Structure 1
Amino acid sequence: MTSSVPAPLRDAYDPEAFRATAHALMDQLADYLKAALAGGAMPVLPWAPPAVNHERFATSFPEEPARSDAFAALMARVLEGSHHLHHPRYVGHQVTAPVPLAALCDAVSSLLNNGMAVYEMGPVATAMEHQVLAWMASKLGLPASARGVLTSGGSAGNLTALLAARQAKAGYDAWNGGAHAGPPLTVLVPRSAHYCLARAVRIMGWGEGGLTPVDVDAHFRVRPDALEEALANATRAGRKAIAVVASAGSTATGAFDPLEPVADFAQRHGLWFHVDGAHGAAASLSPKYRAQVRGIERADSVVWDAHKGLLMPALVTAVLFRDGARSFDAFSQEAHYLFHGDGDDARPYSDVGLRTLECTKEMMPLKVYACLSVLGTRVFEDAITASYDQARRFADHLTAAPDFELAVAPDCNIVCFRHTPAHVPPDGWDALQVRLREALVTSGNFYLVQTRLPGGVYLRTTLIHPLTGDADLEALMEAIRSAARP
């Protein structure tokens, strides 16, 4: 019988064509990785204005298949023009240089396309997710009964945790009754916390008052003595506080809030205790720096980004619940065409769509499970310890330099500082930092970011690339000095 499948469609699924293309791509990616890790003449970011890149990739998509070398040519353009996070002089955002093995797992995930909302659509990934989450919970010191989910980033993770807190502590069924089925709610949050928490309470319909700020100290850590006043402020505003949030590695400076006093406060007032450990929960892996998260084991919920401290590609975020049953509280609804109910004994292993924002979810746990299994856990422990050590050495070097000013001693691998050359008066320092960052980024020599603190504008580095060396940071200081010279 003659096949009715058009040749171009049949060819798009041809295993041998895929084999040849994949082999060529692996060689291409390996060559790219080698060049990026070496640094050298490769820019960290081949800077181009948005309009230029839009023009470079403007196209009329062909109706018929392109030439056999079209894919390799396109990938060459993508690799050349993209931001090179594997360059050792990438010290910018909290986005890591992922271990290459994880990228291969992403290819497997994409080819299998086993969406995980329903167990039978992702049986292997569901089992892997349970194991990955159990390992992460154990590292945090959470009880064996802890459960959780993997989701798409810290913003989704924090929203998931706060939804569970609402269902547990509101005193009414806000999921089914709506945001106005009871008294207006609020969450106590440090002023240094990530903006996604303010976004989450607005998504839940609580408005601006859904977040009650708590003052921080000179090191940008929450002040435990300010918690009672924040709770009183919420009460005076007619809000019922249901939760208190602490940061383990805040975004701007990497500050770790004192978790134990916050846990004491939450327990005293019957509040849900949530820790946003998207960046810093990974400190639990390091014997040397584990004390940074002392008290995290008392949290009702914790968010931890694997695409930061665990060197994974984005996005893989764990939302962990001390009481495993609470993992079902965030999204309490029925969808009988999907979820068939496996009984209470099977709940930890059941359809993950019952507990996540996503319905279709890629095989997130595959890359974490595979890398832990193949590379071992110690490589990730060593990466955390080394990056925190390096941040302290860099901070000492900045402090010793008369023309640099450290914003605050680093708690983790985030270092904020500014250049203060003698020829620039203090009232010109803010503008200088902005100009210096622009000069370094557009030149392609380094990639770093900036932040505004109470003292003004500071340059901000995240030492998240495991192969960034101290010599790279010394070169960064020299490049800043050079760019600042009149």
Structure 2
Amino acid sequence: MLARLEKHLADLSIRGLELADPARLTEAARALMTTDREQPTVFDEERLAAIVDLYIRTGIQVHSPGYMGRQFSGVVPLSGVIDFVSSVVNQPSSFYEAGQLPNVAERIMADELNRFIGWDQDRFAMVTTSGGSLANLTALLAARNRAFPGYWSQGHSALAAQVRPAVAVGADVHYSVARAAGVMGIGEDRIVRLPLDGRRRIDADRARQALDAAAAQGLTVFCLVASAGTTPVGAFDPLDRLAVIARERGLWFHVDGAHGASLLVSDRLRHKLRGIAEADSLTWDAHKMMFVPAPCTLLFYRDRESGRGAFRQTASYVFDERQDIYTALDNGDKNFECTKRPMIMPLWALWAMYGKSLFAEKIEYLCRLTQEAHAILEGEPDFEVLHRPEANILCFRYRPEGVEVDDLHPFQVDLRNRVKSRGNFFISKVDVDGVAALRVVMMNHHITSGHFQMLLDEIRKAGQSQ
């Protein structure tokens, strides 16, 4: 297995995604399964090799220079080795007695990363969760329970008849926030979408008007959610100005930094999150731009007491009634999961071995590469660039002569699918102002501006075949 992974990592050829027919892949997978149902089959090394080869071959090739499509990264190989160790020793990390080093490592990494956030060292807290969606839900629960203390135990009946809880977000907020509103019983109709400016950030100048309009409609906004690196275009909302609005109105200020919070470790890029110290909570996905296996999400609270308000339960089989130096490190009462992978270990091990410079250098390179790609596009008359990238996400359209405005959306959708089917590059697409655009996310430091130029040639070829 290690030899096959080494070969996989050493292959820097340009390859995208080859989608297998699901029926044929199912057939191939079933053919690798033992037919003996009565007793364990003797270990078959060739069968295992075939399973690993099939697994590697049919996935997105995140280590290839042709991979520019999604926000999950090619991992630093050492972090995968630590993840392998975690799988074998199997130490669930919600409680100290089950995962001692993982719980200590969480505290260490919380302290290390909070140096870049800037919260009071004695008041803040951090827990790990399985993904940014769960972190956003958990933060919104803490915000709701602070605003409406009786909601956890009594549900909607705890509210006065005229109270209609609502959450304010940017129009490009990640769908997980709207999903969280549905899970919490708030409903998507009570999502107040704040207007965006020309850079697709929340327009702070018009946000107050939108909040006033929501209040006039009878909505009680209790939380303002900003984004540090939106999923569509990678925009960073003006956190400092939005924090002022949140404080004026007594709102919980949550920052979804699942993608962009990692820029905090870079001295050159940290300014993009100016104002983060004024947030009440922060979602940070290390499995994106910290280059570790998914999932590894960090949920930070400025005030640990507020963070404890997300869940309010007792369970004698896990929660100790008498706290000591060991149970003080338990975090099962602060996150949704009881059994939780020790997801902090790959991140802590990399940080312990290499320090922040490893992460900062990779992040700075990928952001610089995206700026170079933007400059290339500006010099190509048959391409339309849609924004100046703030991090490592770039959206654009291919607009050769003869493509009418009404055909632009389906043309981009078909184009992306054709590029994907050709098997050399994997890119994504997103609707910008209701019209599809091609989208690249630079997550692999093996990519160069030369590879991006090759992608543009591939796009042209795919466009000419339509």
- TM-score of the two chains, using structure 1 as the length reference: 0.90
Where do 1:313-328 residues align within 5 Å? Answer: 313-328=293-308
User: Counterparts of 2:362 and 2:343 in 1: how far apart (Å)?
Assistant: 21
Residues 1:396 and 1:354: Cα distance change in structure 2 (over 3 Å): same
For residue 48 of structure 1, report the CA deviation from its aligned partner. 1.9
For residue 468 of structure 1, report the CA deviation from its aligned partner. 1.0
Contact persistence 1:248–1:255 (CA under 8 A): yes
Where do 1:209-288 residues align within 5 Å? Answer: 209-288=189-268
Q: Which residue of 2 aligns with 1:180?
A: 157
- Given the alignment, which residue of 27, 31, 36 partners 1:55? 27
Q: Secondary structure at the match of 1:238?
A: coil
Superposed CA offset, 1:354-396 (max 9, x none): 1111110011111111011112210101111111111111111
For residue 49 of structure 1, report the CA deviation from its aligned partner. 3.0
The answer to whether residue 437 in structure 2 is matched with residue 461 in structure 1 is no
Contact persistence 1:149–1:327 (CA under 8 A): no
Superposed CA offset, 1:183-209 (max 9, x none): 331111111100100000111111123
Where do 1:376-455 residues align within 5 Å? Answer: 376-454=355-433
User: Counterparts of 2:330 and 2:230 in 1: how far apart (Å)?
Assistant: 32
For residue 81 of structure 1, report the CA deviation from its aligned partner. 2.0
Alignment RMSD (CA, Å): 1.7
**Count of matched residue positions in the alignment of Structure 1 and Structure 2:** 456
Q: Secondary structure at the match of 1:250?
A: coil
Q: Secondary structure at the match of 1:314?
A: coil
Percent of aligned pairs sharing the same letter: 34
Residues 1:58 and 1:236: Cα distance change in structure 2 (over 3 Å): farther
Contact persistence 2:133–2:177 (CA under 8 A): yes
Residues 1:295 and 1:345: Cα distance change in structure 2 (over 3 Å): farther
Of residues 300-309 and 325-334 in structure 1, the stretch that sits farther from structure 2 once superposed is: 325-334
Q: Secondary structure at the match of 1:213?
A: strand
Superposed CA offset, 1:230-275 (max 9, x none): 2223323322211111110000010111111100001111111110
The answer to whether residue 82 in structure 2 is matched with residue 105 in structure 1 is yes
Residues 1:450 and 1:174: Cα distance change in structure 2 (over 3 Å): same
Superposed CA offset, 1:330-368 (max 9, x none): 112111111114549877x43211111111001111111
Where do 1:155-194 residues align within 5 Å? Answer: 155-170=133-148, 172-182=149-159, 183-194=163-174
User: Counterparts of 1:386 and 1:377 in 2: how far apart (Å)?
Assistant: 14
Contact persistence 1:216–1:222 (CA under 8 A): yes
For residue 78 of structure 1, report the CA deviation from its aligned partner. 1.5
- Given the alignment, which residue of 119, 137, 141 partners 2:118? 141
Q: Which runs of 5+ in 1 are unaligned?
A: 1-24
Q: Which runs of 5+ in 2 are unaligned?
A: none
- Given the alignment, which residue of 59, 63, 67 partners 1:86? 63
Matched to 1:125, the amino acid is P
User: Counterparts of 2:118 and 2:21 in 1: how far apart (Å)?
Assistant: 47
The answer to whether residue 282 in structure 2 is matched with residue 302 in structure 1 is yes
Contact persistence 1:167–1:329 (CA under 8 A): yes
For residue 71 of structure 1, report the CA deviation from its aligned partner. 1.2
Of residues 43-52 and 120-129 in structure 1, the stretch that sits farther from structure 2 once superposed is: 43-52
Superposed CA offset, 1:77-134 (max 9, x none): 2112222111111000111111111111111111111112222111111111111122
- Given the alignment, which residue of 319, 326, 331 partners 1:339? 319
Matched to 1:198, the amino acid is A
Where do 1:475-486 residues align within 5 Å? Answer: 475-485=454-464
- TM-score of the two chains, using structure 2 as the length reference: 0.94
User: Counterparts of 1:407 and 1:282 in 2: how far apart (Å)?
Assistant: 24
Q: Secondary structure at the match of 2:8?
A: helix
